[in-house]
Amino acid sequence: MGLFTGDINDKKVLKYRLTISSYFIMLYESFSRTWKDRFLEFYANSVDVSGDKPKYRFTKPKSTKNGFEMIPDKKAENDFYNKVFRIIKKSKGYDKELSMFKYMEKLGFINAKQYIELIEIRKIRNVLTHELDSCILDNFPNETKNLLKKLIEIRKSANKNWILSVEIATGDLERYKDDNGTYNFPKEAFSLDDILFDLIKENIF
């Protein structure tokens, strides 16, 4: 199919395709990056915040004449990457992103159905990213809208599970205790990113 077989004068269609494609890519990239940073922050024991973005490191103490110093812990780092990013193999090496999604499924942040959906979502993300001109002008993937909806649902569900099972569980539990000493944990939770992307969606669609 040729690149310019569609009606490039239909401004409404062009705007919609550009908008939903940009939003889809942005949402997916944010989702993948957020979970990578979360796992690194949770498992690494050192962070360097001197640059533009945090650099997470695995270190261990080493005795010196003056006490001790922190040195790289290659074993801990390798164990982490084996556990999180080296689950799904590909022709050369590992598919780090799908491995991370599989690890999320293993821990219960997403379910098996959502993992399969993320595979399909990533396929469309790759098409929109690498063939955007063709998609906008000629061959827009029909499943984009439905998969965008699923991506939003997966993001919110996974974020909720992380907040309830990790952030709250490892945070200040006393704030959830009432006068009778009973803990009342929230049943719903939203990340700031969820709220931000919902506001963007409301304004652009």
Predicted local distance difference test score (pLDDT) of residue 4? 42
Highest mean pLDDT among 29-43, 52-66, 133-147: 29-43
Kindly report the average pLDDT of the chain as a whole number.
Answer: 88
As a whole number of angstroms, the distance between CA 155 and CA 1 comes to 34
pLDDT digits (tens, 9 = 90+) for 85-98: 999 999 999 999 99
The pLDDT score that the predictor gives to residue 63 is 87
Please tell me which residue, 9 or 80, carries the higher pLDDT value: 80
Average pLDDT over residues 120-139: 93
Confidence check: pLDDT of 160 > 50: yes
Report residue 111 as tokens.
Answer: 């379910």
Asked if residues 115 and 102 have their Cβ atoms less than 8 Å apart, the reply is yes
Amino acid letter, residue 133: D
The answer on pLDDT for 107 being more than 60 is: yes
Taking alpha carbons only, the member of 190, 198, 193 closest to residue 167 is: 190
What pTM was estimated for this model as a whole? Answer: 0.86
Cα dist. 143→40, 127, 146 in Å? 33, 12, 5
